[in-house]
Structure 1
Amino acid sequence: MVMEWLFPPQCVCCQNFTSNGTKICEFCLIDFPFFALSQNNLLMRPDIARLVNLPHCNGLMACSWYQGALKVWLSEYKFHGKVHHKSVLQQLISHQIQQFCQTSHFVPDLCLIMPLAYRRYFWRGYNQVTQTWMTALKNIAPISSSLKRLRTTKPQSKLNRKQRRTNIKGAFYVAQSLQGKKVVIVDDVITTGSTMDEAAQACIQAGAAEVWAFVTALTPLFSK
């Protein structure tokens, strides 16, 4: 409390002081370029449906495009250990989850976190998806770690669309029955959808009745 009095928190966007220790002030949060969730399911947007290939997913929810400030915050936290970005990402995700819950009729039974390859987890020391999404997910459904990787794959960012599908083929399994359950798979970024769809297929093979993808950001066409 003393530190906050001496050094009041400032908005990472406009630098004005914020309340309740938040990283983005209420005005910048309103102006942030979130995806509008009036349609609830972003796969119903023609521009997004053309960008991502998710035939095993029933729905998609994301915060925004992977560009601008969001790209900086996420990439610096994910690849360079800039942990001070975690709080702002958590605030954005919690805001969008709240909007989704108010507008959507989809209520999941279980949330699955996209597993990080062991080698990447070893060097990074954390799974950025778990770190940024855990707080928001606790409010909507139980969280399970049963989505597993069968093998190590090459980084998808270095591959084209066809190579991504081949690289990730058969890379996941689910270590529990999902019979009849509505599940969410959570990741940070979708570029082509290959990784997410392969994980969704593993969930369906485990008996899931419905699978939705929840992600922090979608990569726009000009960035692919």
Structure 2
Amino acid sequence: MSTFWKLRVDGWLGRALPGRCVFCLTPLPGDNPWCEACFSELPWNLPACPGCAEPQPGAVRGRRCGHCLRRPPRFDGAWVPLRYDAEVAGLVQRFKFDASPRAGRVLLELLVAGLPPAVQGWPEALVPVPLHPRRARERGFDQAHWLAARLGRQLGCPLVPAQRTRDTRTQRGLDRGERRRNLSGAFHLPDGLPRRVALVDDVMTTGATLDALATACRQAGAEQVQAWAVARTPVGRH
């Protein structure tokens, strides 16, 4: 993606004031950081595969994609309300690489807004996708843990940290099979996980990372696993 949307988001966040839409600066009557017009124009991930949340433009809503039919993921379903595109991509970049708390708060509220009430009350624990300790030290910021910690407080759901046991190579440029092999056995959790857990990340690309973490959760005792993320990378941009 070009720097266009990141620069636009920089401008929005720099000018945003309490009580005004973070996108257009329109005065707001409620507590949400956006106006209804901007909210409706965001790149919502609809329709999407209920198994892995891959965008399915023109498909029948609720139908699983070919990837899930050929090789079902280790998580039972995915809730990813937005596509990684346009202003959402700019927000994610400001949050992930510049550690912008304002961008993070907007993304958190968008995630909550995209989760139906029944889904919000489903998990017994949240498991954020962990960075390897070396990468966390280098970046100084773990975006998935930041999101999950605040989401857990908002939903009244405990956090269970996972351990990344090895520093895997970057996933960029790898196909689906290579991504799965790259992450095989990369996560560990203590035994005794609750029966229902939701995995939390900022962006879901092919789902390979969440798939590997779901495997570790099942090995630690979870019986049902969902994958939650703010945004899903469109097909063709993996």
Unaligned runs of 5+ in 1: 1-6
Cα distance in 2 for partners of 1:159, 1:35 equals 23
Matched to 1:210, the amino acid is Q
Indicate yes or no: 2:213 matched with 1:205. Answer: no
Indicate yes or no: 2:50 matched with 1:42. Answer: yes
- Per the TM alignment, residue 90 of structure 1 is displaced from its structure 2 partner at its CA by 1.9
Indicate yes or no: 2:21 matched with 1:11. Answer: yes
1:110-189 correspondence to structure 2 within 5 Å: 110-178=125-193, 181-189=195-203
Cα distance in 2 for partners of 1:44, 1:151 equals 25
Asked whether the 8 Å contact 1:146–1:176 carries over to 2, the reply is: no
Asked whether the 8 Å contact 1:54–1:197 carries over to 2, the reply is: no
Cα distance in 2 for partners of 1:149, 1:17 equals 44
Identity within the alignment, %: 28
Aligned match for 2:95, one of 49, 56, 77: 77
- Per the TM alignment, residue 138 of structure 1 is displaced from its structure 2 partner at its CA by 2.7
Provide closer, same or farther for how the CA distance between residues 89 and 198 of structure 1 changes in structure 2, counting only shifts above 3 A: same
Cα distance in 2 for partners of 1:65, 1:50 equals 19
Matched to 1:79, the amino acid is F
Matched to 2:217, the amino acid is C
Matched to 1:203, the amino acid is C
Cα distance in 2 for partners of 1:24, 1:133 equals 22
Unaligned runs of 5+ in 2: 1-16, 57-63
Asked whether the 8 Å contact 1:165–1:194 carries over to 2, the reply is: yes
- Per the TM alignment, residue 58 of structure 1 is displaced from its structure 2 partner at its CA by 0.7
Cα distance in 1 for partners of 2:212, 2:179 equals 11
RMSD (CA atoms) = 2.8
**Secondary structure at the counterpart of residue 81 of structure 2:** strand
Asked whether the 8 Å contact 2:124–2:158 carries over to 1, the reply is: no
Matched to 2:215, the amino acid is Q
The answer to which of 160-169 and 76-85 deviates more is 76-85
Asked whether the 8 Å contact 2:80–2:228 carries over to 1, the reply is: yes
Q: What's 1:191 paired with? A: 205
Q: What's 2:113 paired with? A: 95
Q: What's 1:3 paired with? A: none
**Secondary structure at the counterpart of residue 188 of structure 1:** strand
Cα distance in 2 for partners of 1:21, 1:44 equals 31
Cα distance in 2 for partners of 1:26, 1:131 equals 26
Provide closer, same or farther for how the CA distance between residues 20 and 45 of structure 1 changes in structure 2, counting only shifts above 3 A: closer
Provide closer, same or farther for how the CA distance between residues 26 and 134 of structure 1 changes in structure 2, counting only shifts above 3 A: farther
**Secondary structure at the counterpart of residue 123 of structure 2:** coil
- Per the TM alignment, residue 82 of structure 1 is displaced from its structure 2 partner at its CA by 3.5
